[in-house]
Structure 1
Amino acid sequence: MSTFLGFPTRRGAKPLPDGGTHQGAPGTTAGPGWADDVPHPDAPLRWGATFPEAAKQALGNTQLRRNLAHATSTIRAKRAAVVGEVPDWEELRDAGSTIKAHVMSDLPHLLEELERNVTARGGVVHWARDAAEANRIVTDLVKATGETEVVKVKSMVTQEIGLNEALSEEGIAAFETDLAELIVQLADDMPSHILVPAIHRNRSEIREIFLERMGDAPPDLTDAPRELAMAARAHLRRKFLSAKVAISGANFAVADTGTLAVVESEGNGRMCLTLPETLITVMGIEKLIPTYQDLEVFMALLPRSSTGERMNPYTSLWTGVTPGDGPQEFHLVLLDNGRSKALADDVGRAALHCIRCSACLNVCPVYERVGGHAYGSVYPGPIGAVLTPQLTGSTGRSDPNNSLPYASTLCGACYDVCPVKIDIPSLLVHLRAREVDQDRGRPTAWGAAMKAASFVMATPGRFELAEKAGGVTRVLGGSKGRITSLPFPGSKWTDARDLPVLPRQSFREWWADEHATPEAPPSPASPETTGDAR
């Protein structure tokens, strides 16, 4: 039996044969991909494209940019208001960061403690090395109940492994119950935000999706938010009342009690976690916290950072199985899927501290302009740019994930808002350096350009000559003051952005003018020079 983190896999579950990779969700090591041909900006982005390719297409979608700008600015303002109310916010951030660092340093022992406590309280723990194994475990558990439908609580990790697709292949229908996830599912779309998966859709678009895809939507449905919510509520209520099996993720798992926690804003999670007879929770192994008391810190950090609320409207906690109350069969699937590899990197492991609040997405100038689909992963934005390459690994220079660490301006806004103080800019630089090291010795156009720049900047004389030669840019830029088109290879730059011309006076020239030594005035004439004999 194989292991991860030193533990045998699938403990508490019957042994299952190993299998190949599942064609799961984008962002896993193997994904289904959207259409290969993308004719216009409004078409779905092609999974497998590099970030620059996908971002260029997304930038052409003006409706997407309007939707994102409105939504992220609203969330930013709400977050700033509620964070400003907390006098010890920075101390809370420090506490959250310290707890997560402790978890990463002692993860194997904490996982064993969690398993003992879940098992002691009537739950069954399963261990999954990768997406294929996790999907097979969950599929077999559902099939063992004889059910062909399941309801789901919003879960990033089940999207990561492509669970819905795996269930569908076995004839099991999975119904998303989170409103935004329902919108995405009905539209055959993909999530574009950690907290608000349908952030790229506006009310009019949602109305059209409901009328076209939700069979029981009222024919006179308008795009009023209340009407849209009520239509979804009526649609989902029938699923809640009939479902025998539910699948969830977990925001936190408490090692010393075996307690699982899900926080949400709509009540759909509460329905899924209490009404069905069987509950299956899929959780990334990094979601642990050591003690029940540690929940206090994260219950203060998470809602303010994510939804801009003082507390979560619904916080559901459950510990194993309680006779006569809630699901009578509980399974916990602990997923690795690349997390052990990230944990082995002393620098990169900080990405595993993430509590999925999405604050970094809402302040990122890159995300606000291109949206989540451009990242080609279920984890978009700054945290996705550091987490996805580590979870999936690199398959070489052509791997689209190699471009993700460059999907940032390194402005530092993501670090400023992260509730657990993940230094995302430093992680991005770390992954960039790792990618460069992998490419060392392999000639690339970027490498050639950097070597040329290094040669020019190596001596003051060469740099000064380059400055003088740069005067030609003022001729090319003309009255506009910028160059909009250059022949290859310069076109690789001007195809995406304008090139500003160099100023008429360089810094060197300005410095020389400002600090020039004034000429000394002539000294008074002496008798020797005038011939005066006095």
Structure 2
Amino acid sequence: MTLPGASGPRIDHAQASSAFIASPPHVEFHDRRLWEIRRKRDAQCQAIAEWEQLRSLASAIKEHTLTHLSQYLEQFERNAAANGVAVHWARDAAEHNQIVHQLLGLRGITTLVKSKSMLTDECELRPFLARRGIEVVETDLGERIQQLDDEPPSHIVMPAVHKLRGDVAEVFGRTIGTDPANSDVFYLAEGQRQHTRPYYLKDNVAGMTGANFAIAETGSFVVCTNEGNADLSANVPRLHIASIGIEKLIPSVEHLGVFIRMLSRSALGSPITQITSHFRAPRPGTELHVVLVDNGRSERLGMADFWTSLKCIRCGACMNTCPVYRRSGGLSYGATYSGPIGVIVDPTFNLRKYSALPYASTMNGSCSNVCPVKINIHEQIFRWRQVIAERRQLPLAKKEAMRVAGRILGSPRLYRAAVRAAAAGLDHLPRFMIYNPFNAWGKQRELPATPPLTFREWYLKHRGGPP
């Protein structure tokens, strides 16, 4: 298995989450909001008798496409070109950014209005263009909030879900001149709309979108939104650039319906997105360019244990159900992709930097259970832990702690002694000896009271058997 080199400082997820956890109102809202969406997702799925068959079918379609990816990429390029679309290939983020910059520079474009795209965040396109004098304006409400606050998105689908209304009012008041004391959601949304819409009408402006799905059979691609901003970005300017990861391919139009039925139900608990836009050819007098981006995806496709992460349709269902993500916030992951899907994707970009993320999981398996394309997320998280240990990427403290824990858990006698000692300590030791910097579990929570009997003691007492 080929993995990226170990370089750069490690992201300390536990430490990075401390700022978010320090604000109970934010944690409470974040946890409650995402769990509410998870419950809506469950209701929508249960209303479709064939939901599990759809999951299996979607997973099979993705597996077939990924195992024949070169064939479908060539078919997409051939059909897109026949439609009048200019197709570009980018091996990595640097090449993607250079292609986009060249397209803009040759046409004298100084403003780029773009809809939501995790791929462009992954490629760090916005700062790249800003350094070269091109203003990039995020037109998705959540992405615009994050841009104005100089923060990355914290969620795949809801970029600013970690913010309260008052936070948004403060950001808008500081940056676009709305009343910072007015946190009415309609007022804030309208304020952002009035501030952003004029950018579409500027001279020398281009539009950019991502894509949810690209269809090899037709050379077309599909963008799903709830705000309509992608359609404005694609249809008002004379130049439309679409950045598409190569894993977004599906074979034909007949397969699209499977994913459209599943995407919004998994992401938001709604039957469908407000707008599902199909782009096939440039409008008369305009240009349409597609940039197909690899950026490590081919390498991941060759990883026997992790290639199925490329099936992901970016719905965020795994994030909404994850107890660690819900209580730590997406920014604590220090990466474009956070939550369970980020935990298995991020180490493919930089093993050392993201080596702590696979430990930000309770391994409860809920992420795999809700994944619409049946990615075995929790199993891949466990495998990453093994790889990190094999590659000697564990911090010394964790390595020693796991060595001691392994010895204790491997010996029934030592384990029982440790349980008795821990119970006695919790019951009798002074508080400062339990809640101190060495007890990471006690930093943001009260440890539970010890039960009068362990399960083994209870079992022997009530069911009998040898001690």
The TM-score, its normalising length taken from structure 1, stands at: 0.80
* Residue from 466, 485, 489 that aligns with 2:434: 485
Is it true that 1:269 corresponds to 2:222 in the alignment? Answer: no
Q: Give the counterpart letter for 2:350 in structure 1.
A: G
- The higher-RCO structure (CA 8 Å, 6+ apart) is 2
Alignment of 1:463-474 (within 5 A): 463-464=412-413, 466-468=415-417, 470-474=419-423
2-structure distance, mates of 1:172, 1:457: 58
Seen in structure 2, the aligned counterparts of structure 1 residues 484 and 338 have a Cα distance that, compared at 3 Å, is: farther
**In the TM superposition, what is the alpha-carbon distance from 1:182 to its structure 2 partner?**
1.1
2-structure distance, mates of 1:321, 1:517: 77
Does the 8 A contact of 1:343 with 1:349 survive in 2?
A: yes
Is it true that 1:118 corresponds to 2:80 in the alignment? Answer: yes
1-structure distance, mates of 2:410, 2:189: 62
2-structure distance, mates of 1:202, 1:347: 39
**2:121 aligns to what?**
159
**2:171 aligns to what?**
209
Is it true that 1:70 corresponds to 2:21 in the alignment? Answer: no
SS in 2 for 1:246: strand
SS in 1 for 2:133: coil
**In the TM superposition, what is the alpha-carbon distance from 1:183 to its structure 2 partner?**
1.0
Does the 8 A contact of 1:48 with 1:376 survive in 2?
A: no
Does the 8 A contact of 1:50 with 1:400 survive in 2?
A: no
**In the TM superposition, what is the alpha-carbon distance from 1:499 to its structure 2 partner?**
5.9
**2:399 aligns to what?**
447
Seen in structure 2, the aligned counterparts of structure 1 residues 443 and 145 have a Cα distance that, compared at 3 Å, is: closer
Does the 8 A contact of 1:483 with 1:494 survive in 2?
A: no
**1:382 aligns to what?**
340
2-structure distance, mates of 1:496, 1:118: 53
Seen in structure 2, the aligned counterparts of structure 1 residues 50 and 291 have a Cα distance that, compared at 3 Å, is: same
> Per-residue displacement from partner, 1:260-314 (whole Å, max 9, x unpaired)?
1101001111111111101111111101101111111011000111122212211
1-structure distance, mates of 2:408, 2:375: 36
1-structure distance, mates of 2:463, 2:184: 66
> Per-residue displacement from partner, 1:35-78 (whole Å, max 9, x unpaired)?
xxxxxxxxxxxx96321221233322223213312321332233
Higher alpha-carbon deviation: 121-130 or 50-59: 50-59
**In the TM superposition, what is the alpha-carbon distance from 1:443 to its structure 2 partner?**
9.1
2-structure distance, mates of 1:132, 1:94: 36
> Per-residue displacement from partner, 1:505-526 (whole Å, max 9, x unpaired)?
45555555456589xxxxxxxx
Does the 8 A contact of 1:247 with 1:279 survive in 2?
A: yes
Gaps of 5+ in 2: 1-5
Does the 8 A contact of 2:172 with 2:180 survive in 1?
A: no
Higher alpha-carbon deviation: 305-314 or 144-153: 305-314
> Per-residue displacement from partner, 1:175-205 (whole Å, max 9, x unpaired)?
1111111111111122111111011112122
SS in 1 for 2:47: coil
**2:256 aligns to what?**
295
**1:80 aligns to what?**
42
1-structure distance, mates of 2:241, 2:306: 30
Gaps of 5+ in 1: 1-28, 32-46, 519-534
1-structure distance, mates of 2:72, 2:415: 58
Seen in structure 2, the aligned counterparts of structure 1 residues 62 and 137 have a Cα distance that, compared at 3 Å, is: same
Is it true that 1:357 corresponds to 2:315 in the alignment? Answer: yes
Seen in structure 2, the aligned counterparts of structure 1 residues 456 and 474 have a Cα distance that, compared at 3 Å, is: closer
> Per-residue displacement from partner, 1:374-408 (whole Å, max 9, x unpaired)?
11111111111111111x132xxxx2301111111
Q: Give the counterpart letter for 2:427 in structure 1.
A: G
* Residue from 188, 194, 198 that aligns with 1:234: 194
**2:289 aligns to what?**
331
* Residue from 72, 88, 91 that aligns with 2:53: 91
**1:61 aligns to what?**
23
Q: Give the counterpart letter for 1:408 in structure 2.
A: S
**2:67 aligns to what?**
105
Seen in structure 2, the aligned counterparts of structure 1 residues 223 and 138 have a Cα distance that, compared at 3 Å, is: same
> Per-residue displacement from partner, 1:141-161 (whole Å, max 9, x unpaired)?
111111111100111100111
SS in 2 for 1:227: helix
Q: Give the counterpart letter for 1:447 in structure 2.
A: K
1-structure distance, mates of 2:444, 2:187: 42
**1:369 aligns to what?**
327
**In the TM superposition, what is the alpha-carbon distance from 1:413 to its structure 2 partner?**
1.3
**In the TM superposition, what is the alpha-carbon distance from 1:126 to its structure 2 partner?**
1.3
Does the 8 A contact of 2:30 with 2:327 survive in 1?
A: yes
1-structure distance, mates of 2:435, 2:187: 52
**In the TM superposition, what is the alpha-carbon distance from 1:469 to its structure 2 partner?**
5.8
Does the 8 A contact of 1:255 with 1:291 survive in 2?
A: yes
Larger Cα-atom Rg: 1
SS in 2 for 1:303: helix
**In the TM superposition, what is the alpha-carbon distance from 1:491 to its structure 2 partner?**
4.0
What is the aligned residue count? 460
**In the TM superposition, what is the alpha-carbon distance from 1:363 to its structure 2 partner?**
0.9
SS in 1 for 2:154: coil
Q: Give the counterpart letter for 2:303 in structure 1.
A: D
**1:37 aligns to what?**
none
* Residue from 244, 248, 251 that aligns with 2:212: 251
RMSD: 2.8
**2:3 aligns to what?**
none
Seen in structure 2, the aligned counterparts of structure 1 residues 419 and 484 have a Cα distance that, compared at 3 Å, is: farther
SS in 1 for 2:277: strand
Is it true that 1:348 corresponds to 2:297 in the alignment? Answer: no
Does the 8 A contact of 1:483 with 1:499 survive in 2?
A: no
